[in-house]
Chains A and B, each alone.
Chain A
Amino acid sequence: KAGVTQTPRYLIKTRGQQVTLSCSPISGHRSVSWYQQTPGQGLQFLFEYFSETQRNKGNFPGRFSGRQFSNSRSEMNVSTLELGDSALYLCASSLFGVEGAQYFGPGTRLLVL
């Protein structure tokens, strides 16, 4: 099976802009989760979508949002970018959700200038 894919791999944006990241899960996986990874805060859970519904949400501001499509592909959107949003954004897919084994994509590295 093909693994989790994320596009784009690298992005450079400026403060105030918005960005959309895409994630395609492993075939058959209905759960897609998003994480932010930074040197200072480590890996932090953003949210999880399961069958097009947001099932869990981490402690991030409303500028971070997401959605999932009927084919389980997911997008994450960050509006009004801040310098502190520079990070590696990881997507993970799973059969059962964040409480089970997750399979991660390579990530999208976002730099906000």
Chain B
Amino acid sequence: AQSVTQLGSHVSVSEGALVLLRCNYSSSVPPYLFWYVQYPNQGLQLLLKYTSAATLVKGINGFEAEFKKSETSFHLTKPSAHMSDAAEYFCAVSGRKTSYDKVIFGPGTSLSVIP
């Protein structure tokens, strides 16, 4: 079955520092991969998606992620953290043929930005 792990349930960075949020997946078929962000009391917003085109994917708000098949990873980065980046981030994988695990979300990483 598919699974998604996000290393670090909570990450703190200083404003202006590099943001690195880790995501590893397991999938027996070529996956589609996504990063979503959730602000307090809101739904999820798509940051970026990988669908087997370029391995380096650029998203909104200055975020990007690199698909590394050999490492089964899809880590999210941003060169310079901003206070407004404080939120919960979810990595998701889809692409299986079975119905019940069509899309799997990771447990999430809460990002804090220290002024």
Q: Within B54-71, which residues are at the interface with A (CB < 8 Å)?
A: none
| Distance between Cα atoms of A87 and B106 in the complex (Å) | 17
Distance of A3 from chain B, by nearest CB (Å)? 9
Contact B43 A90 (CB under 8 A): yes
Judge if B90 is at the interface, Cβ distance under 8 Å: yes
Contact A106 B32 (CB under 8 A): no
Contact with B32, one of A42, A48, A100 (Cβ below 8 angstroms): A100
Judge if B74 is at the interface, Cβ distance under 8 Å: no
B interface list, Cβ under 8 A from A: 32, 34, 36, 41-46, 49, 51, 90, 94-95, 99-108
Contact A42 B105 (CB under 8 A): yes
Q: Which 9 A-B pairs have the closest CB atoms?
A: A104-B43, A43-B105, A104-B44, A99-B94, A98-B103, A56-B99, A56-B102, A98-B102, A106-B43
Judge if A57 is at the interface, Cβ distance under 8 Å: yes
Q: Which residues of A contact B106 (CB under 8 A)?
A: 42
In the complex formed, the residue of B with least CB distance to A41 is B107
| Distance between Cα atoms of A108 and B45 in the complex (Å) | 16
Contact A57 B46 (CB under 8 A): no
Task: Return the CB mask of A24-40 against B: 1 if under 8 Å, else 0.
Answer: 00000000010100000
